[in-house]
Structure 1
Amino acid sequence: MSARSTRTVLRAAGLALATALAVVPAAAQDGAQPRDVPQGFVVPGPAPTNAPEAGAAGPDSPTPPAAADPMSFAIAPHEGTTDWPCVQRRVESLTPAQIWAGPDLALADGVERTPEMRRLVGTVIARRLPLDEAEAMVAEFVASRPQAEREATAAALFGDILTALNAERSQVMDGIERYGAKQKELATRLRQENAEFFAMQREEGADAAAVEEARQSMVWDTRIFNERRASLTYVCEVPTLIEQRAFALGRAITRAL
């Protein structure tokens, strides 16, 4: 594959990450905390309500590999054996048993979903909204209901929040997995390009200018690969943020009863 074709594939993979990822869990209820996202890094999510504010800077770019070893990136074992590229174990969905200590969710069946409740759900699941504000909003909504209606209202509100967050989380995980598959494919292609480059070096009478151009291409393409892999480290924290939000909102609703 030519250097130009490889760069085209790399750009396409980067675009796929930006457009396809919409965010993966840890045990938030056990006190687990995701790593801080670097200032300016855009956490992916469904636009517009769940997309955080865009920033100007991303994580620091890795230093390009040395010319003598343009394929010095090391793909972790989990990246080489599966399309799921995150260290966190993949869990398909959050269940009420993991994060809900309130009334039986079956009570939600008899609750009318008013426009006010639907708007509230859409507002509080948005990661753009600070979590403490979201907690206050759901607590105020539940506390404002007549005492006889509060448990059913709380069950309905939490059930709708969990459904919405699970749907968002599934989109994110699917996007992360697609990106992991792309990165594996790119790694394979870069290794092939690397082998061709060193074969060219060993040829007698090889054109020095052509060898140098191939070397520069390899260094650049490998740098792009590593930068995108560094970004993926932070992307993998997003489902954790979703789980934490679901747990915190459920706890706030329960406390308002």
Structure 2
Amino acid sequence: MIKSLIRPWCIGIGGLLAAALSNQAALGADPRYPDWPCTQAKVPEISLAAVWAGPPLDDAATKWKDDPKISALVAKLAARRIPLEQAQKEISEFLTASAADKTNAGKLLFAGLFDALNAQRASVMNGLERVMRKQREAAEKIRADTLALQAVQDASPPDQAKIDELGNQLVWETRIFEDRRRVVKFVCEVPTAIDQRLFALGRTIQQELD
């Protein structure tokens, strides 16, 4: 009975998972980034010109870390758990309090946010590519285990204990594979969300400096 239930389920599952994996990779296919799994094109870094039209940053790009207040605010505002509206309000309040040197404070703050959010993006994208490599390995393992299960089922007499063991293993491996696939689909939205956050925060800083 167990054999008859498992066999229809396992036949071809390795091929189906490989096809799912290939489709996932093909969605964002770019020969430069073979491990990139997202439909969104991979842009390794945010372009400064795309998110900042304020005064030249000059040495702010390297000096923002030297200011404890700026560093602390950057860490707070770069955290995506802080709602965008709250982050924008805190920027306005901070720059208002820095009226004597508002332009310099604004440049330092944006330079810090630019560095911090670019680093976040890089971390997320590297993680997505690591997961994609794991998915390839998982698909190969599932294919191999499916063939092993079919071989045990075809043996005479079949080893029922081994059939049960391999069947349970395949269920678990397939569940992990599918869970990762769903997570990847969700996480693929994160780099774009970071882009949008940096653009919005940069625009708030620019408005305060005008």
TM-score, normalising length from structure 2?
Answer: 0.79
**What is the rounded CA distance, in whole Å, between the counterparts of 2:108 and 2:162 in structure 1?**
66
2:89 to 97, 122, 136: 136
**Unaligned 5+ residue runs, structure 1?**
1-65
Structure 1 match to 2:48: 96
Partner of 1:210: 162
Match of 2:25 among 69, 79, 82: 79
Of 172-181 and 73-82, more deviation after overlay is shown by 73-82
**Aligned partners of 1:67 and 1:241: how far apart in 2?**
44
Q: Which has the larger radius of gyration?
A: 2
1:146 equivalent to 2:112? Answer no
The structure, 1 or 2, with the larger RCO (C-alpha pairs under 8 Å, 6+ apart) is 1
Structure 2 counterpart SS, 1:116: helix
Q: 1:176 aligns with which of 128, 143, 146?
A: 128
**Cα deviation, residue 111, structure 1:** 7.0
Mapping of 1:1-257 within 5 angstroms? 68-70=8-10, 71=13, 72-73=16-17, 74-79=20-25, 82-106=34-58, 108=60, 113-146=66-99, 149-257=101-209
Number of residue-to-residue matches in the alignment: 191
Give the TM-score normalised by structure 1: 0.66
Cα deviation digits, residues 56-105 of structure 1 (max 9, x gap)? xxxxxxxxxx8623324422434378322222221111121111121122
Indicate the residue corresponding to 1:36 in structure 2. none
The CA distance in 2 between the partners of 1:210 and 1:198, in whole Å, is: 11
Q: In structure 2, list runs of 5 or more residues that go unmatched.
A: 1-5
Q: CA deviation at 1:166?
A: 1.0
> In 2, distance between residues paired with 1:242 and 1:158?
14
DSSP-derived class of the 2:21 partner: coil
Q: Residues 138 and 173 of structure 2 are in contact (CA less than 8 Å); yes or no, is this contact kept in structure 1?
A: no
Q: What's the offset of the Cα at 1:217?
A: 2.3
- RMSD between aligned residues: 2.5
Among all aligned residue pairs of Structure 1 and Structure 2, give the percentage whose two residues are the same amino acid. 37
Q: 1:154 to 1:211 in 2, by over 3 A?
A: same
The answer to which structure has the higher helix fraction is 2
The alpha-carbon distance between structure 1 residues 223 and 141, as it changes in their structure 2 partners (threshold 3 A), is: same
